[in-house]
């Protein structure tokens, strides 16, 4: 059971909104399992500059960064990891002495989840979406040596991200005509409460041996259910969330994350929220 003392190091998540976040349960379970005098809380933050100032002034040891602050936080930090700088987004801050360092573990989480089903180097991956998640996933796959095809609804945004990723772009409607080793839904399509929505027709899924959905509420989206019927290997949104969280834990503590305990805590939260 989590206990708070005068010596307890505080971690948290900054963003707006954050009340729905599963990260507090995941990280507190990990801290508790490793018997670390640390606690993780949610910080609703409308003002990113004020939030970073609070991190500095209150001695907060580290935070996760979520929407809408992943890009805006960068110029407020003392240093940023090179990959995070290329992605243009930070989802993790760690205190190093009196300095705040930014990193991005979203791409690590996506790569690790996908690598369980696919050799990334030399593979072709179709990414749906051109937002922050697609951006992190795309840069991560580039780091791993994968070929990327980007499909999005908005042409201007999609073409710009494709230029930065040095990959091809197609309109979202043309995605159903593609073939690739893996398909990743990096949009919010299918997320609760719009659980009957899907970004890809069921008939098109046979062209993708692996289908990954970053949506984790619900855990089994319509896309993943139809991918199962098509015989695809499925990767749910919990995998990316878990692995990016495990990478954060390692950055903050210098220890290997207790993956199974973190996984169970996430599942318990999802079941409990129904």
Any domain includes 43: yes
Name the domain count of the chain.
Answer: 2
At residue 32, what are phi and psi to the nearest 5 degrees?
-65, -45
Distance of CA 36 to the CA centre of its chain: 25
For the record, the structure tokens of 9 come out as: 């190091």
Q: pLDDT at position 273, please?
A: 63
Indicate if 130 and 228 belong to the same structural domain. Answer: yes
pTM of the model: 0.91
pLDDT of residue 217: 87
| Per-residue pLDDT at 132 | 85
Is residue 82 in a domain? yes
- Ranges of the chain with pLDDT below 70: 1, 273-274
Structural domain boundaries enclosing 195: 108-235
Same domain, 203 and 258: no
pLDDT digits (tens, 9 = 90+) for 107-146: 999 999 999 999 999 999 999 999 888 999 999 999 999 9
Q: Which residues pair with 40 in a beta bridge?
A: 11
Q: Which contacts qualify for 46-55: CB closer than 8 Å, 24 or more apart?
A: 46/16, 48/14, 48/72, 48/73, 48/76, 49/76, 51/14, 52/76, 52/77, 52/93, 52/100, 55/14, 55/93, 55/95, 55/100
What CATH number corresponds to the domain at position 131?
Answer: 3.40.50.720
> Active-site residue numbers?
70
């Amino acid at each position: 059971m989590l206990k708070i003392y005068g010596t307890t190091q505080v971690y948290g998540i900054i963003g707006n909104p954050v009340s729905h976040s599963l990260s507090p349960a995941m990280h507190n379970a990990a801290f508790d399992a490793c018997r670390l005098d640390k606690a993780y809380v949610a910080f609703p933050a409308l003002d990113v500059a004020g939030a970073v100032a609070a991190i500095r002034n209150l001695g907060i040891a580290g935070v996760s960064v979520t929407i809408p602050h992943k890009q805006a936080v960068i110029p407020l930090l003392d240093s940023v990891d090179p990959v995070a700088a290329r992605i243009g987004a930070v989802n993790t801050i760690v205190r190093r002495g009196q300095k705040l360092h930014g990193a991005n573990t979203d791409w690590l989480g996506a790569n690790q989840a996908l690598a369980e089903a696919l050799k990334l180097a030399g593979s072709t991956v179709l990414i749906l979406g051109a937002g922050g998640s697609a951006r992190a996933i795309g840069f991560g796959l580039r780091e791993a040596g994968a070929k990327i095809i980007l499909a999005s609804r908005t042409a201007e945004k999609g073409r710009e991200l494709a230029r930065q990723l040095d990959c091809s772009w197609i309109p979202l409607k043309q995605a159903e005509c593609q073939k690739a080793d893996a398909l990743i839904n990096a949009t919010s399509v299918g997320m609760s409460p719009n659980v009957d929505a899907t970004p890809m027709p069921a008939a098109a899924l046979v062209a993708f041996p692996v289908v990954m959905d970053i949506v984790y509420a619900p855990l089994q989206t319509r896309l993943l259910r139809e991918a199962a019927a098509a015989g695809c290997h499925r990767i749910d949104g919990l995998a990316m969330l878990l692995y990016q969280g495990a990478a954060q834990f390692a950055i903050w503590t210098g220890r290997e994350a207790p993956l199974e305990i973190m996984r169970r805590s996430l599942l318990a939260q999802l079941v409990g929220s129904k």
